[in-house]
Amino acid sequence: MADKKTLVLHLSGVPSPLLFAISDETAAELTGSLTDLVRSGSTSPVRCADGSDVVVDFGKIVTAHIGLLPTVGEVYGAPGRRASGLS
Protein backbone atom coordinates (compact mmCIF):
# COMPACT_ATOMS: atom_id res chain seq x y z
CA MET A 1 0.00 0.00 0.00
CA ALA A 2 1.33 3.41 -0.95
CA ASP A 3 1.99 5.98 1.75
CA LYS A 4 -0.68 8.67 1.92
CA LYS A 5 0.48 12.17 1.05
CA THR A 6 -0.17 15.49 2.76
CA LEU A 7 0.33 19.05 1.57
CA VAL A 8 1.88 20.81 4.58
CA LEU A 9 1.51 24.61 4.63
CA HIS A 10 3.22 26.82 7.23
CA LEU A 11 1.94 30.35 7.81
CA SER A 12 3.88 33.10 9.56
CA GLY A 13 3.02 33.41 13.25
CA VAL A 14 0.93 30.22 13.31
CA PRO A 15 2.54 27.43 15.35
CA SER A 16 0.72 24.52 13.70
CA PRO A 17 0.78 23.89 9.95
CA LEU A 18 -2.30 23.41 7.81
CA LEU A 19 -2.51 19.82 6.57
CA PHE A 20 -4.38 18.73 3.45
CA ALA A 21 -4.65 15.07 2.40
CA ILE A 22 -3.79 14.80 -1.31
CA SER A 23 -3.70 11.98 -3.84
CA ASP A 24 -0.51 10.65 -5.39
CA GLU A 25 -1.53 12.38 -8.63
CA THR A 26 -1.90 15.77 -6.92
CA ALA A 27 1.40 15.21 -5.09
CA ALA A 28 3.13 14.56 -8.41
CA GLU A 29 1.62 17.71 -9.94
CA LEU A 30 2.62 19.86 -6.95
CA THR A 31 6.13 18.44 -6.73
CA GLY A 32 7.01 20.16 -9.98
CA SER A 33 5.33 23.47 -9.23
CA LEU A 34 5.32 24.00 -5.44
CA THR A 35 8.53 26.03 -5.37
CA ASP A 36 7.29 28.34 -8.14
CA LEU A 37 3.87 28.75 -6.48
CA VAL A 38 5.44 29.88 -3.19
CA ARG A 39 8.04 32.11 -4.87
CA SER A 40 5.48 33.84 -7.07
CA GLY A 41 2.80 34.09 -4.36
CA SER A 42 0.22 32.67 -6.75
CA THR A 43 -3.28 31.58 -5.85
CA SER A 44 -3.98 28.05 -7.00
CA PRO A 45 -6.62 25.34 -6.54
CA VAL A 46 -5.46 22.08 -4.96
CA ARG A 47 -7.42 18.82 -5.31
CA CYS A 48 -7.71 16.95 -1.99
CA ALA A 49 -7.74 13.17 -1.59
CA ASP A 50 -11.52 13.16 -1.02
CA GLY A 51 -12.10 14.93 -4.35
CA SER A 52 -12.80 18.36 -2.87
CA ASP A 53 -10.88 21.43 -3.99
CA VAL A 54 -9.26 24.09 -1.83
CA VAL A 55 -7.82 27.35 -3.10
CA VAL A 56 -4.45 28.23 -1.59
CA ASP A 57 -3.06 31.77 -1.57
CA PHE A 58 0.64 30.87 -1.71
CA GLY A 59 1.44 34.54 -1.09
CA LYS A 60 0.50 33.94 2.57
CA ILE A 61 2.55 30.74 2.89
CA VAL A 62 6.03 30.85 4.46
CA THR A 63 7.01 27.26 3.64
CA ALA A 64 5.26 24.39 1.91
CA HIS A 65 6.16 20.76 1.34
CA ILE A 66 4.64 17.38 0.66
CA GLY A 67 4.94 14.89 3.51
CA LEU A 68 3.34 11.73 4.79
CA LEU A 69 -0.19 11.80 6.18
CA PRO A 70 0.01 11.94 10.00
CA THR A 71 -1.88 9.32 11.99
CA VAL A 72 -3.15 11.77 14.61
CA GLY A 73 -4.90 15.12 14.20
CA GLU A 74 -7.17 16.91 11.78
CA VAL A 75 -6.29 16.72 8.12
CA TYR A 76 -8.52 18.57 5.67
CA GLY A 77 -9.59 16.74 2.56
CA ALA A 78 -9.06 13.25 3.99
CA PRO A 79 -11.51 10.65 2.64
CA GLY A 80 -14.24 9.95 5.17
CA ARG A 81 -13.94 13.32 6.92
CA ARG A 82 -17.33 15.00 6.93
CA ALA A 83 -17.40 18.71 6.30
CA SER A 84 -19.19 20.94 8.75
CA GLY A 85 -20.14 24.57 8.68
CA LEU A 86 -21.61 26.44 5.74
CA SER A 87 -22.70 24.41 2.74
pLDDT for res 86: 44
pLDDT in tens, the chain (87 residues): 356 899 999 999 998 899 999 999 999 999 989 999 999 999 999 999 999 999 999 999 999 999 987 766 666 677 765 554 444
pLDDT for res 1: 37
Beta bridge partners, 16, equal none
pLDDT for res 4: 84
pLDDT for res 53: 95
Q: List, as one string, the DSSP characters of 4-61.
A: PEEEEEEETT-SS-EEEEE-HHHHHHHHHHHHHHHHHT-EEEEE-TTS-EEEEEGGGE
